[in-house]
Chain A
Amino acid sequence: MTSQTLQSGEPAGGWPLVSVIIAVYNGDRFLSSALDSIFAQDYHPLEAIVVDDGSTDDTTDVARSYPAVRYIYQANQGVAAARNKGIAAARGDFIAFQDADDLWVPGKLAIQVGHLLAHPEVDGTIGMWHNFADGAPPSEDTAAGPDRVGLVTLVARREVYDRVGSYDPAYRVGSDMDWFSRARDAGVNILMLPDILLYRRIHNGNLSRQIDARAASMLRMFRASVERKRQKLT
């Protein structure tokens, strides 16, 4: 437990459960290191929910080799639908996400849950991430480039999803950008932390670097956001 969490001390009802949702499609290569970085968290209790988005590789076997993992399978419907399924299955007071090719720093949940416990007016927290090249062990020293804000770092109170709604499966990529944009318009208070919370593995298959899918999603998202504001004004 880091100092951030200890500030507030253990709450009366004990430390709240955090549900970590890992939506994965054909991620057998990196899934176990992602899961290891979850189970190595300073913070407990947590539950890890792997939502297998119709993988055709050995993702199922990797996930099932962890007795503590809750495994859910769906036919391939995309990351938004997989995350929604995970949220529906989650038992925790807080919801967190992990991508199968990323690694959490050990203090990630302690830092973020610590802030949420100390600040009841904050609905969710996000922080920074660093790239690391596939193959090199991630660290502050091997990190490439500036810190970046990572939407995938979100840890939010469960009820936020009742206010904002679920991830829109119509977005093949960028459903999290759309969700954040809707959250902002709904007045959700997301606190941005300066801490580096995860390391993102850069490899050839990164979904978010596929420019064609991204371009369409971005425009759709920006337009939807502008339209929401327009309707609010009239």
Chain B
Amino acid sequence: MQSSPLVSAVIPVYNGERYLAEAIESVLAQDYRPVELIVVDDGSTDGSGDIARSYPLVRYIRQTNRGVSVARNAGIAAGRGEFIAFLDADDVWTPDKLTVQMEYLLTHPEVGFSFARQRFLFEQGIGAPPWFPQELLARDHVGFMPSTLVVRKAVFERAGGFDTALRRGEDTEWLLRAGDCGIQMGIVQETLLLRRVHSGNVSLMKPPDYRLLLSLLKQSIDRRKERGND
């Protein structure tokens, strides 16, 4: 009998009491084993900590509020798994999410991390903001964001963790940096995430910060140039 490698699921949360329990339940309902679940409480002042600690299977880590990058990095550091998977506290995994992505990573040893498709889930009374791309609403699409990301832990040793100086765009920055290190990305075509759109959703309800994205791209190009000059 083969035994599958341990996956550390990391949920960073800041004042996410409204949806956190559903996110935790969706990890506990995974049909993949073995999984450990780490909730990193980024200094919440609501009931997030109580909710996380009410689940005996959750490893609970608390930090003073230092942002989602520090929280995710703390989860990576605490993770005992060979693989790290992330879930935001307002999103929900499908029960086969880890099985499908792990199957992919185990059969593609050259790939360092994988993304999957996601579907938007609109909370009652919440419509899409006007700038929202219609094609993303119409069908399931690849979500290049932490909740669909499963990574070999060794990748973080090569590429580093999330940039703690950034409060937005930290996932894009990491993705570019990992690519610049020559780490290969894989995409799983199945829909494995329900991504919730609600009034408190920071990254979805604000228009993209194009100035930030451009500066991240510029950094990436500079890194590649430097590497080319070596």
Contact = CB atoms under 8 A, between A and B. Distances in A.
A75 to B, nearest CB: 29
B contact face: mostly helix, strand, loop, or mixed? mixed
Nearest to B117: A211
A226 interface: yes
A218 B102 contact: no
B116 interface: no
Contact of B4 (A146, A218, A222, A233): A146
A229 interface: yes
Given A147-B33, A215-B194, A177 B103 contact: no
Interface stretch (B18-26, B130-138, B179-187, B198-206): B18-26
Given A145-B103, A146-B102, A147-B1, A222 B140 contact: no
Interface in A92-150: 128, 144-150
B32 A214 contact: no
B186 to A, nearest CB: 15
Contact of B119 (A146, A215, A221): A215
B191 interface: yes
Nearest to B54: A229
Given A214-B94, A215-B121, A219-B194, A147 B25 contact: no
22 contacts: A144-B103, A145-B103, A146-B102, A146-B106, A147-B1, A147-B2, A148-B32, A148-B96, A211-B119, A211-B140, A211-B191, A214-B94, A215-B121, A219-B22, A219-B121, A221-B25, A222-B29, A222-B92, A223-B22, A225-B25, A229-B21, A229-B54
